[in-house]
């Protein structure tokens, strides 16, 4: 790395100060230490390792509850699957979980949702449950009940708390109870939901759970009630990398979650721009341009996956909302979201820099003393701005698709 490019990076990093989005506290400290002593190669290495760690981070989510509580349907909903899709958890009152069963996310296989046997049964007594199902391996727990939480549920929560891990109480099948209550005179949805929540909380408090928080969820209206708040809550309780992995994998069924996805992906953009700028100082323009195209294609595909705009995600979503994939795609306006190709990415790159892209990159990098610094700065800004623009376009498409998907849903 030349002295002029080092000066550029030192100036850029100093402007960021302690705010380094997308890095863990340990990575941030390591990064800043390297910058302070002028070891920019080490700083860039920290970013590359962080990116690699992000790709390999695994998340294990445990779901438990009595038979018939809606566990399997919840597992499918959180994985953006219908109950009859390939790979979906089997549903029905006759289904009983005999051993912990893993259900990898269909798009993000590093996110694994586990169906656990209920606590307090003959095979899994309370006294040995922690050891029997190896509770240590899970990142957090969701305890589901269809009516009220049992003593066994409370006992499990206490065991999880002793381990220092997070758990969340979910009251399922809210839509069924609301439909039944609607037959009564003077029905008010908010009042009914409040009664449900308070009833669950009272039973949990009587069982010794201090200040319980209960989330009301409907599998068939997963965008409503407390589902978005539940997803945001357990995501915020995770560390930097696991939170990012989970946010990307969550169903794109509410505006709130879509905004969280956009924020999470924005935090990673500077890392991608950094990759471009590192290659920009090499006086081989074709290598630099090829690197930029790879960065754009890889990240645009990742954005579409996260927002559920790829075909593999749109098919089950369209089926769930009873619309065709073509209908949902009809409202998408971003060309790259519809057809992410290297040709389209290169076209966008040339539009942003001019047809003489490779020649310009070459001659700038050869300017004595300041050339590589200018090349690095321009590449960084270019990729940073382009990815922000692409991300905004894809996020807007996701909002349009969601609006189209939910058309008429409130009337059903």
- For residue 76, which of 51, 113, 107, 50 has the smallest C-alpha distance? 113
Does residue 135 share a domain with residue 62?
yes
> pLDDT tier at 368 (50, 70, 90 boundaries)?
very low
Task: Tell me, yes or no, whether 241 and 165 share the same domain.
Answer: yes
Residues 335 and 330: their CA atoms lie apart, in Å, by 12
Q: What is the mean pLDDT of residues 31-35?
A: 82
Q: Percentages helix, strand, coil for the chain, rounded to the nearest 5? A: 60, 10, 35
pLDDT of residue 236: 93
Nearest one of 103, 114, 54 to 81, comparing CA atoms: 103
Answer with the residue of higher pLDDT: 94 or 309. 309
Burial class (CB in 10 A: 0-12, 13-18, 19+), 13: middle
Let me know whether 82 and 212 are in one domain: yes
Residue 230 lies in a domain: yes
- Beta carbons of 266 and 46 less than 8 angstroms apart: no
Residues 6+ apart with CB under 8 A from 26: none
- Is residue 133 within 8 A of residue 115, CB to CB? The reply is no
pLDDT of residue 44: 82
Q: Which of 251, 285, 320 is the last residue of a domain?
A: 251
Mean pLDDT of the chain: 83
Q: What is the pTM of this model?
A: 0.86
**Which residue shows structure tokens 């779901």?**
63
Same domain, 155 and 184: yes
pLDDT in tens, 196-242: 999 999 999 999 999 999 999 998 899 999 999 999 999 999 999 99
* Residue 168 clears pLDDT 90, i.e. is over it: yes
Evaluate whether residue 256 is within a structural domain.
no
Q: Is residue 313 in some structural domain?
A: yes
Domain limits at 348?
A: 267-411
Question: Among residues of the chain, what percentage have pLDDT more than 90?
Answer: 46
Q: 18: helix, coil or strand?
A: coil
pLDDT per residue over 247-271, tens digit each?
Answer: 999 999 999 999 999 999 999 998 8
Domain count, the chain: 2
Bridging pattern class, strands 214-216 and 166-171: parallel
Domain with residue 233: its CATH number is: 3.40.50.300
The more confident residue out of 399 and 408 is 399
């Amino acid at each position: 790395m030349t002295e002029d490019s080092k000066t550029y990076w030192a100036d850029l990093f100093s402007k960021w100060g302690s705010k380094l989005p997308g890095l863990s506290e340990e990575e941030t400290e390591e990064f800043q230490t390297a910058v302070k002593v002028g070891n920019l190669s080490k700083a860039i290495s920290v970013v590359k390792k962080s990116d690699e760690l992000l790709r390999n981070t695994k998340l294990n989510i445990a779901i438990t509850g009595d038979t018939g509580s809606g566990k399997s349907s919840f597992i499918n909903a959180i994985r953006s699957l219908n109950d009859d899709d390939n790979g979906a958890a089997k549903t029905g009152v006759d289904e009983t979980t005999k051993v912990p069963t893993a259900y990898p996310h269909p798009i993000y296989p590093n996110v694994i949702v586990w169906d656990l046997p209920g606590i307090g049964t003959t095979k899994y007594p309370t006294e040995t449950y922690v050891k029997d199902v190896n509770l240590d391996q899970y990142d957090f727990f969701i305890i589901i009940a269809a009516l009220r939480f049992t003593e066994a549920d409370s006992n499990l929560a206490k065991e999880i708390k002793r381990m220092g891990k997070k758990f969340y109480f979910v009251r399922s099948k809210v839509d069924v109870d609301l439909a039944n209550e609607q037959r009564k005179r003077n029905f008010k949805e908010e009042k009914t939901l409040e009664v449900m929540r308070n009833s669950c909380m009272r039973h949990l408090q009587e069982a010794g759970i201090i200040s319980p928080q209960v989330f009301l969820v409907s599998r068939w209206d997963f965008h409503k009630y407390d589902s978005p708040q539940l997803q945001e809550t357990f995501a915020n309780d995770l560390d930097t990398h696991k939170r990012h992995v989970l946010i990307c994998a969550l169903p794109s069924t509410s505006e709130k979650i879509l905004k969280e996805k956009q924020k999470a992906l924005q935090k990673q953009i500077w890392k991608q721009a950094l990759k471009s700028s590192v290659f920009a100082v090499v006086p081989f323009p074709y290598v630099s341009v090829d690197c930029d195209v790879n960065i754009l294609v890889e990240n645009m595909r990742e954005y579409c996956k996260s927002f559920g705009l790829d075909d593999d995600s749109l098919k089950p979503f369209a089926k769930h909302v009873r619309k065709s994939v073509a209908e949902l795609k009809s409202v998408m306006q971003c060309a790259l979201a519809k057809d992410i190709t290297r040709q389209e990415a290169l076209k966008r790159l040339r539009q942003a820099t001019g047809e003489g892209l490779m020649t310009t990159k070459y001659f700038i990098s050869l300017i004595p003393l300041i050339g590589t610094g200018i090349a690095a700065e321009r590449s960084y800004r270019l990729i940073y701005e382009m990815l922000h623009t692409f991300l905004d376009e894809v996020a807007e498409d996701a909002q349009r698709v969601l609006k189209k998907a939910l058309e008429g849903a409130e009337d059903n």
